[in-house]
Amino acid sequence: MISFIIYKAIICLVVFLLSLGVAAYATLWERKFAAFLQDRVGPDKAGPWGLLQPLADGGKMFFKEEIIPNVSNRFLFILGPSLFMLTALMTGTVIPWAKDVNIGGQTYSLQITDINIGVLYLLGVVSIGVYGIMIGGWASNNKYALLGAIRASSQMISYEIAMGISIIALIITAGGTLSIREIIAQQDAGLANVVYQPLGFLIFFVCALAETNRAPFDLPECESELVGGYHTEYSSMKLGLFLFAEYINMFISSAIMAGFYFGGYNFPFAQELYDAMGLQEGSWIISLIGFGAYFTKIFIFICVFMWVRWTLPRFRYDQLMNLGWKTLLPLSLLNLAITVVVEYLRGNIHI
Amino acid sequence: MGSTNTPTDYLPIVLMFIVALGFVVTTMVASHMLGPKRKTKIKLDSFECGIESHGNARLPFSIKYFLVAILFVLFDVEVIFMYPWAVNYKELGIVGVIEVFSFIALLLVGFYYMLAKKAVQWED
């Protein structure tokens, strides 16, 4: 039991450091990528190619003055960003990062935990994140912050419905399992889920953009009208936690999309490659290659997120609501109906 | 089913919670200790683009947002009802499909009513 806890604690720490590291370097990559798209150089002063920029930014955040407005609710003001960061870090627990490793006859799974309601856990934790924004924005007692927080929460809950229904269609394709480990493992042989769920993936992708408050859905922090949105009054590391948690959310939603729809650590002809290299089941090299494949997919998704941000202009609020309620919701129900018909034709639904 | 459902499976979630909470608390305390403290009255006022701030921000806001919140509760609960079926759809067979789709049909009646009442209509 003690060794179990130690091994799980190590994995927790690794996933935690991984989330932070990826989020930190995603901020740099965002700036580099934007620079590339706009034909600029981007940050290049801190270290070679600006590689130390995230550390400099983080350090700067710590040494800034912390301002809690007089009119704000002190306790809730601190609780807001804490809750947002906490939920962002908690989402990484149910994602399997690679195949199991066999060391000295013991099998170690490279996942913090495999619970049989993984998908529900994920949806639950993500929706608690809305409270972080709402509490933070309300506690500031600032008009811009309140407007931003209301916009953010109403946007996030609107898109959660279409997302939930598109995940139901995915679960049906995956044969009725809520365990993320099984959803990914099923794509081991055969095609990735995106082949069976192209529309579902599209809906999920749009909803993921809206849930992470990324452009073109960045109305909660729309600089041109709301100053900074829900984090207008925040400074020092409290602001840092809000911004940082958004990048962690982006990383985790990329990981979920890559896992749910693109096979996670699986890739075409993986088994043939492992056989050709003469690797046994449970070898650490297999896990390493799978982890590399998973990260390549996540990296591509993060790039797509950034590409979308620097290409599309922001939606108007009525367009946002029309898209969420009048387009995506009926479309996701249609996708569910199509999925059921396809499953019937594949002979998985008996009379 | 490879997945189990024992309390031990949820223990790592508690561990992760401790790690995340530790990080958040450390960051909050560290930034509180490290930053300079030169507070003035104007600095601690709420920010309104440089002009003097007027009154409390907690004013009534558009009823539309409240309607969206209520609709979310209705629809999200209905989505949650579909999850048990999605997990057991093979065992429930065609009867389950008919039942769920009649449920969705009822949901669509409510959805149509929502559109007819212009509950999510932002522009008049």
Per domain, the residue ranges of chain A are: 64-345
Q: Please, what is the Cα angle at A252 between A250 and A253, to 5 degrees?
A: 65
Cβ contact B69–A71 (<8 Å) = no
Domains identified in chain B, total number: 1
Q: What is the CATH number of the domain that holds B42?
A: 1.20.58.1610
**Digit-coded pLDDT (tens) for A282-307:** 778 888 888 888 899 999 999 999 99
Cβ contact B82–A86 (<8 Å) = no
Q: Cα-Cα-Cα-Cα dihedral of A321, A326, A332, A338, to 10°? A: -170
CB-side neighbour CA atoms (13 Å) of B36:
5
What's the whole-model pTM score? 0.89
The answer to whether residue B121 is domain-embedded is no
Cβ contact B15–A9 (<8 Å) = yes
Cβ contact B76–A157 (<8 Å) = yes
Q: Which residues have CB under 8 Å from A134's CB, separation 6+?
A: A80, A149, A150, A152, A153
% of residues, chain B, pLDDT over 90: 3
Domain that holds residue B18: 7-116
d(CA A174, CA A320): 30
**Digit-coded pLDDT (tens) for B28-43:** 888 888 878 887 877 7
Q: Cα-Cα-Cα-Cα dihedral of A218, A223, A224, A225, to 10°? A: 80
Find the CB nearest A236 among B3, B35, B56: B35
Cβ contact A164–B17 (<8 Å) = no
A residues 143..162 contacting B (CB < 8 A):
143-147, 150, 153-154, 157-158, 160-161
pLDDT in the model for residue B69: 86
As for the ipTM of the complex, it is 0.85
Residue B51 gets which letter from DSSP?
S
The answer to whether residue B26 is domain-embedded is yes
Nearest partner of A246 among A8, A22, A1, judged by Cα: A22
d(CA A21, CA B3): 30
d(CA B119, CA B124): 11
- Please list the residues that pair with A103 across neighbouring strands: A106
Least CA distance to A180: which residue of chain B?
B3
- Helix count (H) and strand count (E) of chain A? 14, 2
In which band, very low, low, confident or very high, does the pLDDT at B1 lie, cut at 50, 70 and 90? very low
**Digit-coded pLDDT (tens) for A25-46:** 998 998 888 898 888 888 888 8
% of residues, chain A, pLDDT over 70: 100
The nearest CA of chain A is from the CA of B114 a distance in Å of: 10
Cβ contact A65–B89 (<8 Å) = no
The residue-averaged pLDDT of A188-198 equals: 82
Cβ contact B76–A349 (<8 Å) = no
In which band, very low, low, confident or very high, does the pLDDT at B44 lie, cut at 50, 70 and 90? confident
A residues 230..289 contacting B (CB < 8 A):
232-233, 236-238, 240-241
Determine contact, residues A197/A31, Cβ cutoff 8 Å: no
The residue-averaged pLDDT of A47-63 equals: 86
- Please list the residues that pair with B10 across neighbouring strands: none
The residue-averaged pLDDT of A325-334 equals: 90
CA of A219: how far to CAs of A215, A303, A312, B119, in Å?
A: 8, 21, 13, 20
Determine the residue among A110, A143, A161 to mutate to test chain B binding: the one whose Cβ has the most chain B Cβ atoms within 10 Å: A143
Name residue A22's amino acid: V
**Digit-coded pLDDT (tens) for A221-261:** 777 777 777 888 888 888 888 888 889 999 999 999 998 88
**Does B124 score more than 70 pLDDT?**
no
**Which carries the bigger pLDDT value, residue A103 or residue A32?**
A32
